[in-house]
Amino acid sequence: MVDAPRFGTDGIRGSANAELTPEVALALGRATVDVLGGDLVVVGCDPRRSGPMLEGALTAGVCSAGADVEPLGVVPTPAVAWAAADRKAAAAMISASHNPFGDNGIKIFAPGGMKLGDDEQAALEARYLELLGAGSSGQAAGADVGTVRSSHGVAGWLDLVAGSVGPDALGGMRLVIDCANGAASELGPEPFRRLGADVVVIGDQPDGRNINAGFGSTDTAALQTAVVAEGAAAGLAFDGDADRLIAVDDAGLVVDGDRVLALLAADWARSGRLRGNTVVVTVMTNLGFHRAMAAKGIDVVATKVGDRYVLEAIESGGLSLGGEQSGHVICRDLATTGDGVLTGVQLLDAVARSGRPLAELAEASMDRVPQVLRNVRLPGPVDDPAAAIADRVTAVEGEFGDDGRVLVRPSGTEPLLRIMVEHLDPDIADRACAELVAAAEAAYPADRSP
């Protein structure tokens, strides 16, 4: 079925019950058991209205393939990954992360809570599409059919997050936490309270339709206002499934994933926690981050966009820290995937131990190079959309020298060509990006309507 959702950088995603249908979830449940094996799949979801519909279908698929399901309910993605490691089982998270409520998605974790490698993902996608196209009956029958087990919950995940720093590490720190009306609305603030923080929570009233709406890591205006109004030391914004974090400092300014990672890398290097004295990032990470790490003698490894590629580089290098500008941060000594709640605890612990305000630490962590990011809509699937403007990109990079860079890449989830330009002079960055966008639009004269 050519119109079925395909795997992107983080599972499959689409409009719920239009692209991502119960039939898709059923086939993916069966394929997960067929490809990854095992007798159990742990399943969690965020609070979107379509979550129970897709969870029911996914559960039916898993059980029809002969494995059991342990439903965790509404929990953050990192809690699902933790449960997969704890149960030594595969797992699925039903969430579209930072997307609007009408979308949904399914992320699959390998047994043990790790993101899928390229080969595993390709095999899973092929089997899922085969089952979806064939409409085959279930593989198990009678006593071989799987069932739904009682859940053991994720209390151990909360214990791990809170126990990752010293007791009362955040004692007396006033915080505002924005849960994006998402998966962390109930559990997300708990570790911070255990660690002694005075916590004000916003965006914690999910109704199935309001996830990410005016709250969360992609819309920090409410959090910025609340931090200043409350006189808080910091604010933390999770996305819909809480695997990423964007912070706000005591002055109400945004601290993005690059600065969070820069702060943690420097802190961990001083304490000897930064294995290999190396941090892993993606090609989207700001040029200023690279310069800041070089000044501190910290090596940087850059990967393709996607936290699973960051994790692969961490694993292959025996490293401990990596992440993305978007706020996915992987503390590998503590977790198998990005964890916004855990990252927030680690960040604020570093702030508390420094005795300095977050605004001061964030400002000193790196000098951000002006960055312009624009998207060009493609008319449909294109094998190598960046090739059409490759000569112009080369020319711009030659003009920039060491003062800037250009990155052109296709989106992993949408028919878009993403064009990013960085330069020490913001006007030059703007002009160069506009020129490249015009060239791309001339090469791909698609319908520009939203």
- Known catalytic residues are 97
Residue with tokens 């996608």: 125
Cα–Cα distance measured from residue 318 to residue 304, given in angstroms and rounded to the nearest whole number: 18
Q: Name residue 8's amino acid.
A: G
The DSSP secondary-structure symbol of 20 reads: B
Cα–Cα distance measured from residue 313 to residue 303, given in angstroms and rounded to the nearest whole number: 7
Q: Which two tokens stand for residue 213?
A: 């709406």
CA atoms within 13 A of residue 333's CA, in its CB half-sphere:
12
Cα separations in angstroms, 201 against 175, 196, 326? 8, 15, 22
Nearest Cα to Cα of residue 267 among 357, 160, 347: 347
Q: Which two tokens stand for residue 361?
A: 């630490």
Cα–Cα distance measured from residue 257 to residue 324, given in angstroms and rounded to the nearest whole number: 6
Strands 245-249 and 254-255: antiparallel
Residue with tokens 């198998």: 336
Cα–Cα distance measured from residue 26 to residue 46, given in angstroms and rounded to the nearest whole number: 18
Nearest-5° Cα angle at 25, 22 to 27:
110
Q: Quote helix, strand, coil % in the chain, to nearest 5.
A: 40, 20, 40
Cα separations in angstroms, 343 against 1, 61, 242, 327, 338? 39, 34, 10, 9, 8
Q: Name residue 271's amino acid.
A: S
**What are the residues whose beta carbons fall under 8 Å from the beta carbon of 442, sequence distance 6 or more?**
none
Instruction: Determine phi and psi for 121, rounding to 5 degrees.
Output: -65, -40
Instruction: Judge contact between 248 and 220, C-beta under 8 A.
Output: yes
Q: Partners of 345 in the beta sheet?
A: none
Q: Which two tokens stand for residue 350?
A: 């570093």
Cα–Cα distance measured from residue 321 to residue 261, given in angstroms and rounded to the nearest whole number: 8
Instruction: Judge contact between 437 and 389, C-beta under 8 A.
Output: no
Instruction: Judge contact between 366 and 291, C-beta under 8 A.
Output: yes
Cα–Cα distance measured from residue 38 to residue 169, given in angstroms and rounded to the nearest whole number: 39
